[in-house]
A = this chain, B = another copy of it.
């Protein structure tokens, strides 16, 4: 069997599979090294089981045991199908083992039987992903400390699930287990859930969580767990709250990149100050023939961004003569809460760093009161928020909170990518009655506020377009 390949891909998750499949279909011999399961986090402990669980739990019928078993069955079936399919791809050699870069173009693989094999390649792609960050909670027995890697293995809905961390994973699973009948409490050190989203989005999700009976402890720290009484002690603003009958604790406080033992430092691969492999817009690291995609880079935490990065790496490796002109793509950010939260472009704090606040118009359309679909569907929490530049109507950032925000955001991803202003979006006719017809209201509002005072807008634009934003503290 050959030991020299065109490309070695380390990690068979979303990003690695995209690269391996892409290059193999172009006829390049590829070694794809995977330590555990084909499909990575997404198929095995992420999107696929979590979205299946969210879907099944929402129906409000069927018991929890059955639903959780169905989730595992579907996850396993997909994993097996994907494994089979990738094993059958011509030019793609799937090798189970742990990889370590041992020379400029050499990768050692520790095989399951303990043997080590050394492979070589012209290109090496690091796609080893990330794992849940653990926190130690005094008194919590290991079998009650769950992460997204273990929660889909439990065969019952916990009586009371405490979730440490109110980010995307914590919030999505809070809805799912609440729907399954669990009592659910979220404990977060941050002042609000989904701290990366705009505050209005966090508020909408907090209100909907509360309406469903999920307790949320903000600015709070889980301090200790008493296994005998199943009590979780939480400290909040100097007070201690005892959460009782907590039979499972989900730890969802962030993720750590799988970079240890890969040997990247030794061959000179550079990292960014906040961690992660430094890459250019086409996934190349500081070492010419080494690339990185997915969670190991600082710019991707999603399956869709890992895929997009992988496609670019394929282009770069397979068609090196093609011009590399495109800036990094826009990655939409989505939380599959209920309502969903989707955003694209710059967030307000990023806008504030670049532009003077007097240059920006925030347009907010409330779904419940400003769209008829909100009325027919009894929507409580939802909105479309757009930050645009005065006068020109250039769109800088968008957040949508809506039942299917994940299916709506691509309209704005396209608009941002193509640099289409609100004047152009004004001409688009949306179906009635839909939440998307709120997009029309966004454009209407902008034009209605802008056109009657065009002179003032022009003055403001000229004055603030190139003005320095105030320092972050004061903005």
Contacts and interface: CB of A to CB of B under 8 A. Distances in A.
Contact of A433 (B51, B408, B433): B51
Most chain B Cβ neighbours within 10 Å, of A42, A377, A407, A417: A407
A379 to B, nearest CB: 10
B413 A430 contact: yes
B55 A431 contact: no
Contact of A427 (B304, B326, B430): B326
A383 interface: no
Contacts of A436: 406-407, 410
14 contacts: A42-B432, A47-B376, A55-B376, A55-B377, A74-B375, A302-B432, A303-B432, A303-B433, A304-B430, A304-B432, A329-B428, A331-B429, A407-B434, A413-B429
A378 interface: yes
Contact of A410 (B305, B326, B376, B430): B430
Interface string A298-316: 0000111101100000000
Most chain B Cβ neighbours within 10 Å, of A14, A52, A413, A432: A432
Interface in A397-426: 404, 406-411, 413-415, 417-418, 420, 424-425
A24 B406 CA distance: 37
Nearest to A414: B428
Closest 3 interchain pairs by CB? A304-B432, A51-B376, A334-B431
Interface of A: 14, 42, 47-48, 51-52, 55, 74, 78, 302-305, 307-308, 326, 329-332, 334, 342, 372-373, 375-378, 404, 406-411, 413-415, 417-418, 420, 424-425, 427-437, 439
A51 B308 contact: no
A336 B305 CA distance: 32
Contact of A376 (B48, B420, B439): B48
A304 B414 contact: no
A415 B413 contact: no
Contact of A431 (B304, B424, B428): B304
Nearest to A25: B448
Nearest to A307: B432
Contact of A414 (B42, B55, B407, B425): B425
Nearest to A78: B375
Most chain B Cβ neighbours within 10 Å, of A307, A408, A430, A437: A430
